[in-house]
């Protein structure tokens, strides 16, 4: 679907998107992800406008068994909002009759999602010190959402995640002594399956909207939501790859472990130790390293010759360094 076709389809929906409908203006693509498209646009009429975001799965996108469908993602967002989690408001979930494809439309929240800007730009200096604690509070709210009120989601333990990514690693044909040692240690020290909670699955700097005046305004991209160990979300946020060069601030490149855990416990989250967080941080680093391997493999096999795939593939070595540091420090 090209931009003109998409605009025409959205115009037919305008009455459902804004009171009285209107013209679709300023339609533009925000991202070019492999699995999802994100478009910004507004519905304008008689001097009034409503700014909206369309999240859409392209017809050509490959299905990933780890991801939930967009209708399920929208249902999760609506439910977590009831629990006080800052998320955009879901305005409309598209049906086949709408002619947009698999998609939903949400309100546009203020803020910046580019992690490098959030950790470096002077505009965010005032809010950075409070972000780690606020992330802990928000994660506690996510983990408190009753599972009975959500669509059915996959439950995944540490051992199951390790097995899944080890299979991908073995299938790649790559050989990394660091990955081999990390796999062994993670298996030995894997936590038992405990009581499980809703997990965002990709809660990190880059999927958070941060406003220079108000701090965290929205949690984005719920496609990897699942059920599991609450320490998983905290550990993923601390993976070095999401610090954007601010390596000395383990939580997203903007804060300390202690602030994250303080916020989590103050928000009503169950007791989680730094040791548990660092275990899942190590597993997260391994997972991202294996993902980088696969992205390079797609470039090398000519299935995807984008520069982005080649550049991400080079980051395998970064994750190996991260794993060595974590193993030296001990789990």
Domains of the chain: 3-107 (3.30.200.20), 115-329 (3.90.1200.10)
Q: 148 or 34: whose pLDDT is higher?
A: 148
How much is the pLDDT for 330?
82
End-to-end CA distance of the chain, in Å? 49
Residue 309 has pLDDT above 90, yes or no: no
Mean pLDDT of 298-307: 54
Q: pLDDT confidence of 329, banded at 50, 70, 90?
A: confident
Q: What pLDDT digit, counting tens, does each position of 136-166 carry?
A: 999 999 999 999 999 999 999 999 999 999 9
pLDDT-derived band at 312 (thresholds 50, 70, 90) equals: low
As to burial, measured by CB atoms within 10 angstroms (0-12 exposed, 13-18 middle, 19+ buried), residue 5 is exposed
- State how far the Cα of 315 lies from the Cα of 327, in Å rounded to an integer: 19
Mean pLDDT of 266-276: 96
Note the pLDDT of residue 300: 55
Compute the mean pLDDT over every residue in the chain, rounded to the nearest whole number.
Answer: 92
Render the burial of 92-103: b for 16+ CB within 10 Å, e for the rest.
bbbeeebebbbb
Query: How many CA atoms are closer than 13 Å to the CA of 35, on its beta-carbon side?
Result: 13
| pLDDT in the model for residue 193 | 84
Reported as a single tens digit per residue, the pLDDT across 173-224 is 888 999 999 999 999 999 988 779 999 999 999 999 999 999 999 999 999 9
* Residue recorded with tokens 């967002």: 77
Q: For residue 193, what are the contacts with CB-CB under 8 A and spacing of at least 6?
A: 157, 159, 229
Q: Does residue 256 register a pLDDT over 70?
A: yes
Q: How confident is the model at residue 305 (pLDDT cuts 50, 70, 90)?
A: low
Report the pLDDT averaged over residues 230-247: 96
Rg, Å, the chain Cα set: 20
Q: What is the pTM of this model?
A: 0.93
- Three-class DSSP labels, the chain: CCHHHHHHHHHHCHHHHCCCCCEEEEEEEEEECCCCEEEEEEEEECCEEEEEEEEECCCCCCCCCCCCCHHHHHHHHHHHHHCCCCCCCEEEECCHHHCCCCEEEEECCCCECCHHHHHHCHHHCCCHHHHHHHHHHHHHHHHCCCHHHCCCCCECCHHHHHHHHHHHHHHHCCCCHHHHHHHHHHHHCCCCCCCCEEECCCCCCCCEEEECCCEEEEECCCCCCEEECCHHHHHHHCCHHHCCCCCCCCECCCECHHHHHHHHHHCCCCCCCHHHHHHHHHHHHHHHHHHHHHHHHHHHCCCCCCHHHHHHHCCHHHHHHHHHHHHHHCC
List of residues 6+ apart from 220 with CB closer than 8 A? 87, 88, 113, 207, 208, 209
From CA 130, how far away is CA 114, in angstroms rounded? 18
Q: Residues 68-120: pLDDT tens digits?
A: 999 999 999 999 999 999 999 999 999 999 999 999 999 999 999 999 999 99
Q: What is the pLDDT of residue 286?
A: 97
Structure tokens at 73: 């993602």
On whether the CB atoms of residues 163 and 190 are closer than 8 A, the answer is: no
In the predicted model, is pLDDT for residue 294 greater than 90?
no
- Torsion-angle region of residue 226: left (phi > 0), alpha (psi -120 to 50) or beta? beta
């Amino acid at each position: 679907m090209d931009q003109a076709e998409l605009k025409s389809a959205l115009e037919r929906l305008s009455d459902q998107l804004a009171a009285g409908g209107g013209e679709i203006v300023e339609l533009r693509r925000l991202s070019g992800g492999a699995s999802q498209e994100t478009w910004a646009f507004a519905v304008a009429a008689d001097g009034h406008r409503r700014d909206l975001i369309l999240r859409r799965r392209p017809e050509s996108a490959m299905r990933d068994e780890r991801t939930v469908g967009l209708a399920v993602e929208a249902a999760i967002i609506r439910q977590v909002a009831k629990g006080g989690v800052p998320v955009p408001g879901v305005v409309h979930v598209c049906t086949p009759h709408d002619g947009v494809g698999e998609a939903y439309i949400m309100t546009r929240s203020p803020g910046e999602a580019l992690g490098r800007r959030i950790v470096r730009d002077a505009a965010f200096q005032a809010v950075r010190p409070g972000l780690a604690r606020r992330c802990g509070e928000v994660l506690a709210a996510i983990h408190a959402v009753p599972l009975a009120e959500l669509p059915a989601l996959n439950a995944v333990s540490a051992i199951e995640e390790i097995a899944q990514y080890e299979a991908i690693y073995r299938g790649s044909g790559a050989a990394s002594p660091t990955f081999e040692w990390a796999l062994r240690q993670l298996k030995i020290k894997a936590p038992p399956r405990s009581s499980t909670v809703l997990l965002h699955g990709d809660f990190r700097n880059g999927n958070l909207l941060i406003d220079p005046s108000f701090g965290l305004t929205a949690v984005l991209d719920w496609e990897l939501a699942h059920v599991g160990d609450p320490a998983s979300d905290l550990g993923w946020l601390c993976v070095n790859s999401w610090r954007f060069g601010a390596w000395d601030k383990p939580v997203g490149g903007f804060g300390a472990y202690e602030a994250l855990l303080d916020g989590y416990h103050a928000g009503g989250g169950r007791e989680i130790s730094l040791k548990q967080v660092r275990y899942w941080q190590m597993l997260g680093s391994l997972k991202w390293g294996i993902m980088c391997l696969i992205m390079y493999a797609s470039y090398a096999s000519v299935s995807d010759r984008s520069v982005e795939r080649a550049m991400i593939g080079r980051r395998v070595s970064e994750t190996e360094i991260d794993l060595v540091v974590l193993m030296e420090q001990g789990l």
